[in-house]
Structure 1
Amino acid sequence: MEFLGTSQTASYCGPKKSCLFPEPVPTSTMQDSYQTYYLPGYRYLNSWRPSLFYKVSSTIPSSDERGNVSLRPPTILPSLRTALYARYSPRDWNQANQVQFKGSECCRHWAGRLNADSLRLMQDKDQLTQQMQDDTGTNMGQRLSDIEFWRSELIYELQRLLTETRALDIAKKRLECAADETEGPLKVALECLYNREKRMGIDLVHDDVEKNLIKEVDMFKSCQERMRKLAERIDQQLGINRDAQHALERDLSDKSSAHFIDEKCYNLRNTSDSIKFYHGIEKIDGTVSVPQTWAKFSDDNIRNSQNARANSAKLCEEMENVLENTSEEMWKQYTDTNLAFDHRISEIGDIKNKLQAHLAKTLQEIFQIENTIMLLERSIMAKECPLKVAQTRLEGRTRRPNIELCCDIPQFKLINEVFTIGDTLQTLKQRLRDAQDTLQLLVLNKSRLEHDLSVKANSFFIDKKCMDMRKTFPSTPRLIGYT
C-alpha cells in the first residue's frame, strides 16, 4: 500500500509476501463491499483491499443424493476404497491448523502495526498540513503588510506629486499671465517711439529718452522670451509629472487589486464555502516578477516621482527668481525712461521759454528799429528844405554883377552848409539802409525763432503725450503673475 505525499517508511508497506496460503482471487462480493475512492487533484490509485480473506465454498449435491437422502450410506464404498490412501493424517491436520494460527497472528500483528503507523502518519501529516497552512497564512499576512506598506508609500508620494504638479501648473499660469501683462507696456513703448518719429527738424535727435525707450522695448521682449522659454520647460516637466503620476496610479491600482485578492485568500478557511478543487493549478506559473523585482518596480516608480518633484521644485524656484528679476528690471527701466522723459520735457520747456523770451525781445527790437527807420526817413525829409534853401541862395548869389560876385563869408558858409547838409543826408540814408537791413535780419530771426518755437512746442507736445500714455504701468503683483 502507498500513501499519497509520503515515502514508504514501514517494513510492512513493502511488497507483500504470502503467509503460507496462496492469495485467493477476489470475487464480486468484495468489489461490492469495497468501492474505489479517488482523491481529487491527484493520480488515481486503487483503494486498499485486504489481501487475505476467507473463501466460502459450497458443494452442490447430485440428483441421486437428493433422491436418497434417507438411505444410510455404506461404511466403505467400493469405489472410494482407493481414496482412503489419499487422505491427510491428523498430524497434518494439526500442523495445518498451527500454520493457520501463526498466519492469523502474523496478519493481526501486521494489521496492528499498520494501524498504529497509519495513525501516527495521519497525525504527522495533519500537523504538517496545519503547519504549512499556518506558515502560508503567516507569509500571506506578511505579504499583505508589504503590500500595505508600498500602498501607503505610493499614496503619500502620489499626493506629494499631485501637490507639486498643481504648484507647477500655477507657476506656468503665472508666467503666462506675466508675459501677457508685459504686452501693454511694450505697446506703449513702441507707440512712444513711433510718436517721437514725428518730431521735426533739429529736435529729431537720438537723445536719452529714445535710448531708454529702445532699451525698454528690448528688455520687455527679452523678459517675455525668458518667461516663455521657462513656461515651455515647465510644460515639458508637467508631461513628465503626468507620466510619473500615471505610473504611480497604475502601480497603486495593481497594489489595491493584489491586496484585495491576497486578503480574500488570507481569510479563506477550511470551512469556507468558496473553496473548491482546481486540477493542475499548481503546475501553472504565470508570475512575472520575484519579490526583489516587485519591490524594485515600486521603488523605481517612487524614485522617478521624487526626481520629477525635485525638478518641479527647481523650476518653481527658478520661476520665482525669473519673475522677481524681470519685474525688478522692468520697473527700473520704466523708472529710468520716465526720468529721461521728465528731464527731456524740462529741457524742451526751458528752451521753449528762452525762445519765447528771445522772440519777445526780437519783436521789441523790430518795433524799435521800425520806429528808428521812420524817424530816419522823417529826418531825411526834414533836411531837404534846408538843402534847397542853401542851394537856392547859392544859385541866387551867382547872379550878382561884376565885382559883387565876391567869395565872401556868406558865400563860404552857404557852400559849407550845402556840403554839410549833403553829408548829413548821405549819412542818414546810409543809416536808413543799415536800419532796413537790420530789420530784415530781425524779421528773419523772428521767423526762425517762431519756427524753432513751433518745433519745440511739437516736441514738447509729443513727449507730454508719451508721458500721459506711460502713466499706467502694471503693478509688481501683476508683473510676477498674480491677477
Structure 2
Amino acid sequence: MSSEVLVSRPHYDSRAVAQGVPGNESHPQRELPQPSSGSATAGYRSAKYTPAEWFSNYHTILQQAGADRTEARGIQRESKSLYQDTEEATLKTQAEGTRLLGERLQDVHYWRSELQRHIQQLLADTESLLALKRRLEKALDATEAPYAIATDNLSCRTRRPGPDLVRDTVEEELLKEVDLIRNVQALLKRTIAQAVSQIKMNREAKQTLELDWSDKYQAYNFDDHSGRYSNLSPDTQHHPSSATMQDQVCNCTSWAKFTQDNLSKALQEEQATNSLRLLVEQLLQDTTEDLRAQCACVDRAFSQRCGELIEAKTQQEMKLQQILEQIGAQERNIVALQQAIHNKEAPLRVAQSRLYLRSLRPNMELCRDEPQLSLEGEVRQIDATVASLHQQLSEARRSLSHLEESRITLEKDVNCKTHSLFIERDKCMTHRKRYPAVSTLSGY
C-alpha cells in the first residue's frame, strides 16, 4: 500500500468562473487549527474538507445565488417589456389582418356582384337570341309557302294555250319573286348560323364567369370565416405549412386582371349580341317588307294581266257576235244571189226560145229586124247579168269562208282567253290569297 494519502479536491463552480465571480482568492482565509482526528487517524491524511475549502464553498454558493437572482430580475424585466411589446404588436397585426380581410371581402364582393350582373345579362341575351333564332326559323319556314305559290303560279301559267303563252310582266315579276325568296332564305340561313355561333360564345363566356364567380364565392366564404376568427375561437389550429409562400400563387394585380379580362370578354359578347339582335330585327323587317312589296307587284301584274285578258276577251266576243251576224247576212246574201241566178234562167230560156223560133223564119223573113236585135241584146244582157251574179256569188262564198275562218279563230281565241283568265284569276290569284301575312313572315 502506498504511503501517499488521497485528499479530495475543493469544489469548483464553473458558473461562477463563467460569470466572473471571484473565487476563494477574494476572501482571505484564516488559519484554522486542524482538528484532531484521534488515534484512529494518527499517521494518515483525513478525507474531509478543510475549513478553508468549507468557507470557499459556501461563499461561492452565496455569490452564485446572488448572481442568479440578479440575472433573473433582469430577465423578468426584459420578459415583461417583451411580452407587453409583442402583445401590442400581435394585437395590432391581427387587427390589421382583420381590416385587410374586410377590405378583401369588399373587393371580392364587388367583383362577384359584377360577375353576377354580367352572368344575368348574358343569360338574358342568350334567351333573347334563342327567341330570335326561333323567329328566324319560323320566318324561314314561312318563306316556303310564298316559294310554293310562286313556283305553282309559274307552273300553272305554262299550261296557257299557245297564243297566250307569252313572257309578260307577270312572269317577270314571278321570276323576280322566286329569286327574292331564294335570296331571303339564304340570308335567313346565314343569320341563323350566326345566331347559333353567338349563342355558343355567350354560353362559353357565361360558363367562364360562373367558374370565376364560384371561385370568388368560395374565397368570400373562406375570408369571411377567417375574419370571424378571434383569439377566443375554439376551432383554430396550428398549420405551420400554410404560412409558406407558394410559387404558383398569383398577385393582386393578376387576380384583378383575370376577372377584368373575363368581364371584358363578356362585355364584348353582350355588345355583339346586342348588335346581332338589332341586325336580326332589321333583317326580318326588311325581308318581310321586300317579300310583301314583291307580292304586291305580282298581284298588280296579275290584276293588270287579267284586265287585259278580260278586255281582249270582251272585244273578241263582240267581234265574234258581229262576225256571226255577218255570216248570217252573207248566207242570206248567197241565197239571194242563187235565187237571182235561178230567176234569170226563165227569161234567158224565153229569149233564147224566141231567137230559136225566129231563126226558123223562111227566106227573106229571116232578117235582123228590131225584135231580133232586141232579143240578141236581151240574151247578151241576161248572160252578162248571170255572169255578174255568179262572180258576186263566188265573192260572197269566199267572204263567207273568210268569215267562218274568222269565227273559228275568234272562238278559239275566246276559249284561249277564257282558259288563260281561269288560270290567271281563278287559280293563280286565288292561290296567292294564301300568301303569308306580315306577322308570319316576321317569325311570329
- Normalized against structure 2, the TM-score is what? 0.88
For residues 259 and 245 of structure 1, what CA distance do their matches in structure 2 show? 20
- Would the aligned equivalents of 1:352 and 1:456 in 2 still touch at CA under 8 Å? yes
For residues 301 and 431 of structure 2, what CA distance do their matches in structure 1 show? 15
Gaps in structure 2 of 5+ consecutive residues: 1-16, 25-34
> Structure 2 matches for 1:335-350, cutoff 5 A?
335-350=296-311
- Would the aligned equivalents of 1:245 and 1:305 in 2 still touch at CA under 8 Å? yes
Say which is worse superposed, 196-205 or 280-289, in terms of deviation.
Answer: 280-289
Change in CA separation of 1:254 and 1:89 when aligned onto 2, cut-off 3 Å: closer
- Normalized against structure 1, the TM-score is what? 0.81
For residues 273 and 74 of structure 1, what CA distance do their matches in structure 2 show? 72
Query: 1:386 offset after TM fit, Å?
Result: 0.6
Q: Which amino acid aligns with 2:367?
A: C
Change in CA separation of 1:106 and 1:378 when aligned onto 2, cut-off 3 Å: same
- Would the aligned equivalents of 2:112 and 2:217 in 1 still touch at CA under 8 Å? yes
Query: 1:289 offset after TM fit, Å?
Result: 1.9
- Would the aligned equivalents of 1:181 and 1:479 in 2 still touch at CA under 8 Å? yes
> Structure 2 matches for 1:150-229, cutoff 5 A?
150-229=111-190
Per-residue deviation, residues 111-156 of structure 1 (Å, max 9, x unmatched) = 1101111122222222222222222222222221111111111111
In the alignment, does 2:82 pair up with 1:121? yes
Q: What is residue 273 of structure 1 aligned with on the other side?
A: 234
Change in CA separation of 1:302 and 1:74 when aligned onto 2, cut-off 3 Å: closer
For residues 121 and 367 of structure 1, what CA distance do their matches in structure 2 show? 145
For residues 255 and 16 of structure 1, what CA distance do their matches in structure 2 show? 61
In the alignment, does 2:318 pair up with 1:353? no
Change in CA separation of 1:166 and 1:74 when aligned onto 2, cut-off 3 Å: closer
Per-residue deviation, residues 73-93 of structure 1 (Å, max 9, x unmatched) = 987436257658x97567x76
For residues 95 and 260 of structure 2, what CA distance do their matches in structure 1 show? 30
**In structure 1, the residue corresponding to 2:344 is in which secondary structure?**
helix
In the alignment, does 2:416 pair up with 1:455? yes
Query: 1:222 offset after TM fit, Å?
Result: 0.9
Per-residue deviation, residues 405-430 of structure 1 (Å, max 9, x unmatched) = 12110111111111111111111111
Q: Which amino acid aligns with 2:154?
A: L
Q: What is residue 249 of structure 1 aligned with on the other side?
A: 210
For residues 443 and 74 of structure 1, what CA distance do their matches in structure 2 show? 191
For residues 152 and 380 of structure 2, what CA distance do their matches in structure 1 show? 73
Q: Which amino acid aligns with 1:212?
A: E
Query: 1:283 offset after TM fit, Å?
Result: 3.7
Q: What is residue 372 of structure 1 aligned with on the other side?
A: 333
Q: What is residue 58 of structure 1 aligned with on the other side?
A: none
The CA RMSD measured in Å over matched residues stands at 2.4
**In structure 2, the residue corresponding to 1:271 is in which secondary structure?**
coil
Per-residue deviation, residues 366-385 of structure 1 (Å, max 9, x unmatched) = 10110011011111111001
For residues 183 and 399 of structure 2, what CA distance do their matches in structure 1 show? 58
Q: Which amino acid aligns with 1:443?
A: E
Number of residue pairs the alignment of both structures matches: 417
For residues 91 and 142 of structure 2, what CA distance do their matches in structure 1 show? 75
Q: What is residue 353 of structure 2 aligned with on the other side?
A: 392
Task: State, as a whole percentage, how many aligned pairs show the same letter.
Answer: 32
**In structure 2, the residue corresponding to 1:280 is in which secondary structure?**
helix
For residues 314 and 128 of structure 1, what CA distance do their matches in structure 2 show? 58
Query: 1:290 offset after TM fit, Å?
Result: 1.7
- Would the aligned equivalents of 1:327 and 1:480 in 2 still touch at CA under 8 Å? yes
Query: 1:285 offset after TM fit, Å?
Result: 2.9
In the alignment, does 2:374 pair up with 1:413? yes
In the alignment, does 2:279 pair up with 1:318? yes
For residues 139 and 331 of structure 2, what CA distance do their matches in structure 1 show? 66
Query: 1:273 offset after TM fit, Å?
Result: 2.4
- Would the aligned equivalents of 1:20 and 1:103 in 2 still touch at CA under 8 Å? no
Q: What is residue 424 of structure 1 aligned with on the other side?
A: 385
Q: What is residue 436 of structure 2 aligned with on the other side?
A: 474
Q: What is residue 41 of structure 2 aligned with on the other side?
A: 79
Change in CA separation of 1:78 and 1:383 when aligned onto 2, cut-off 3 Å: closer
Q: Which amino acid aligns with 1:388?
A: R
Query: 1:272 offset after TM fit, Å?
Result: 2.1
For residues 449 and 232 of structure 1, what CA distance do their matches in structure 2 show? 58
Per-residue deviation, residues 417-451 of structure 1 (Å, max 9, x unmatched) = 11111111111111111111111111111111111
Gaps in structure 1 of 5+ consecutive residues: 1-14, 23-72
Change in CA separation of 1:337 and 1:21 when aligned onto 2, cut-off 3 Å: farther
Per-residue deviation, residues 220-275 of structure 1 (Å, max 9, x unmatched) = 11112111111110110000000001011111111111111221222122222222
For residues 105 and 96 of structure 1, what CA distance do their matches in structure 2 show? 14
For residues 351 and 369 of structure 2, what CA distance do their matches in structure 1 show? 15
- Would the aligned equivalents of 1:219 and 1:330 in 2 still touch at CA under 8 Å? yes
In the alignment, does 2:330 pair up with 1:363? no
